[in-house]
Each structure stands twice: as structure tokens, then as C-alpha cells.
Amino acid sequence: MNDRTRGTRITDLVRSQRDFFNTGETRPVEFRMDALRRLRDALKLHEEELLAALHDDVRKPPFEAFITEVGPVMDDLKHAVKNLVKWMDPERVKTPLSLFPARSRVYHDPYGVVLIIAPWNYPLSLVIAPLIGALAAGNCAVLKTSPLAVATTAVLKKILGDLFPRKYVAVVEEEKDINTTLLNEKFDYIFFTGGASVGREVYRAAAGSLTPVTLELGGKSPCIVADDADMALAARRIAWGKFVNAGQVCVAPDYLVVSERMKGGLVEAIIREIRKFYGDNPSESEHYARIISDHHFRRLTRLMEGCTIVHGGRTDPADRYIAPTIIDNVKPDHPLMKEEIFGPLLPVITTDSIDDAVRLVKSMPEPLSLYLFTGDRAVRERIIRGIPFGGGCVNDTVVHVGNIHLPFGGVGRSGTGAYHGYESFRTFSHGKSVVLKSRFLDNPLRYAPYRKYGIRLLKFVMG
């Protein structure tokens, strides 16, 4: 298919969705609720097929796939169905006395036709989670899935194609340069999850048409372990958060920050947990995932070159296997610290104090997530209030993403905007502010010619 044909096809798709949106059919609560319920039922019906596809794409263990993809999506759908009526109600806000008599409301309007661009590492949840918000808000949606997640994309296309007409929800074909073709279209909202380089392209394209965007990017998410931390607990939770999905998680701990006094014991404890999780040879474990592609495998193996590897380091290009790996003696200017790792490599950096840890993290781009292990409230507040980051955990890793009551998103170079739960509904809705003024009382002082005592009265009313 040539560029002109592809462009025409996408243009026709967007036009058909806009025409359908303009009929008003997606706006009633009954329509939205029906779409969400049918999506929930379909995902439940095809659960085993989805788990198998996720295993095919990245060797994701079924239990891990359920707790990180299928389960959270089902929870999100259940939450949306339960709360949609309340979310759609106009929000009441206060009205100043100077506008008396009046009421003020915020109406939540759907944007129209939205584009959702999803990555490969969580090819189910990072497509469906934003789609839930888009449908709950009353939009039509074009979904761009990753060409790397072949099996999961095929199942999703089948499920969504059977559920919804393309004029309402459509998964676009996986073709070369499809992002460019899509971004040439005028969407009413763009939701992008992925790397910063493509995120910049999305932002530039959206700026040309003044299209609002949410960018869920990544970054180097630090894990700071204070001297008072529970070492065994920290090791277990760091090992889980870092090596789940073979480290291919946008919120995985990207590097470890610890004092020299704590480092040796903590590293040994993490190694013990790795062995508990995956055995002495993780390549034989059914609980350990694989790298998504040859390109990413080569990128990660290059990052290990010349490093001080204290655990792991084994690779198998035929299987795209990289062992859980811990790397010591890493300096802030090391290549490992120049980009998001997005793989099972854990660099360890030592600092002399919490203040040094704060300075180190703040010298780098704002992270999507931050993790801190401590029992000291003062240290906790120092880190939370002293470092900009999207979200995170104290005494755990990654699990904040699973709380649908928390908005999830980045800050600065790790993204803009947020979603999950009610925040997803808000993201895909325009807040339309309206003052409902009474017809039965009209203040004559607002009209010309203005009275001299009018300003004094207004100042009194406004306090």
C-alpha cells in the first residue's frame, strides 16, 4: 500500500468516525454504559486467548500477565461502569456573591474523535485502559497498536472488530510509517504512551493543529534506599519491580541509589531474591519473560559492555534472553545513565547522604516514577517534596500504577497529563464551564451609565 492510498484510507476512517460522533449517538449514558459492559464481557470471554497471546509476544507468564494487564483492565472497567452516571453529572461549583442569583456548573463534554497510540510492553492494558476513558467520556476512538506485539494485536483487533463498528472504534493496520500518516490527520485529542523521541513527534504534530494531548513517556525512575530501610523487604520488592516483564516496564526501578554502607548487603539480598523468583538459571524459568525484539536485545547487550557485572549478564540472542543483571560502580555519566534502560539491567550508584541522593536525581530529567525505602518520616517528606516526579511508592515499587483512584502520569520530560479511573474520564472530556443565571433578578449597577456608589458596593460584596 502506497502513502497516498494509506492516507486516503485513514482520512476516510477519521471522517466516518467524526460523522458518527456528530450524530450524537455516543453521548447518552446508556450508549456509553453498554459499550463498557460489552467490552468487559468480551475481555472476560477471551481471557485465556489474551493470556496466550501475551505469552507469545514476550513470554509473559500467565500469572504476571493477569496481575499486570488483564486484572487491572477488568478492575478499571468495573469501576467505570459503577461510577459513570456520577461522573457524567454536571459538577457543581461555588458561585461568587457578586453574580447572585446564579448557579455554576462544569459540564463534561466528549472531545470527538480521539487517537490512542500504544506501545508494545503492555500491549493489552496500555490500549484498553485509555480506551475505557475515551468511551466513558463519549468519544469515538482510533487505536494504533504496536507492530511488535503481533499476537496480542491480532486478538485485540478480533475482539474490538466484533464488538464495535469501525466508525466508533477502530484498530488501524500495522504498517510502516503509520504514525506519520495518522498524525497528518486532525484528531480532537491524542493520547500517546511510549518513548520520548516519538512523544516529541506527537507533540509537534499536535501543536500544528492545536490538538490537546496526553503524553505518557518514561524516564529513569530512581529507587532510593535509605540506611534505615528494611533490607530484606526492600530487596524483595525491588527485585520484583525491576525484573517483572524482564524490566520492560515504563515504571520499573531504573537505577538503585544507596549508601556505601548499605550497598553490599542490599545487593546480596537482591541476588537471593532473584534466585528465589527464577532459580539459579532464569533462562529455564517459566516465570521470566523475554526481550521483545532483536533490536532491543542488541541495545541492551551494548549497554552492558565494559560494565562491572556482579550478578547475571548472561544472554542468548536466539531466545532474546537477558538474565536479571546487577551492575556495580556506575557513575552518573555512564552510558547506562543516559537513557531509560527498559530491560533487566539494574545499575547501582552510591551516595554519601540523602541530600546527595536528592541532588543526583534532580540533576537528571524528571522521572516518571520514584521509589523510596525508609521508615523515617522526615526522609520521606524530604524526597517527596524535594524531587519532581510523576508518581511512586514508599517502601514498594510499581504498585501505585494499580490504584485506579490515583491519577497516573508524568511531569516535565516524563510526560504531561494523567489517567486511570475518574482521571481517564476527565482526560477525554472537555470541562465546559457554565453560569446558570436567574431571569427574575437583574442588578442594575452592572450597566452603564455607572453609579459612583457602585464600585463601593461591589468592593463590599467581594470582601
- Give the residue numbers annotated as catalytic, written as ranges: 216, 250
Measured distance CA(50)–CA(69) in Å, rounded: 10
Where are the alpha helices (H) located in 279-337, listed in sequence order? 294-304
Helix (H, G, I), strand (E, B) or coil at 321: strand
How many residues in the chain? 463
Rg of the chain over Cα atoms, rounded to whole angstroms, equals 25
Strands 213-216 vs 415-416: parallel, antiparallel or unpaired: antiparallel
Measured distance CA(449)–CA(458) in Å, rounded: 16
Q: Angle at CA 44, nearest 5°, toward 38 and 49? A: 120
Q: How far apart are the first and last CA of the chain?
A: 67
C-alpha cell at 306: 565494559
Whose cell is 499536535? That residue is 206
Measured distance CA(76)–CA(129) in Å, rounded: 7
The pair phi, psi for residue 372, each rounded to 5°, is -135, 135
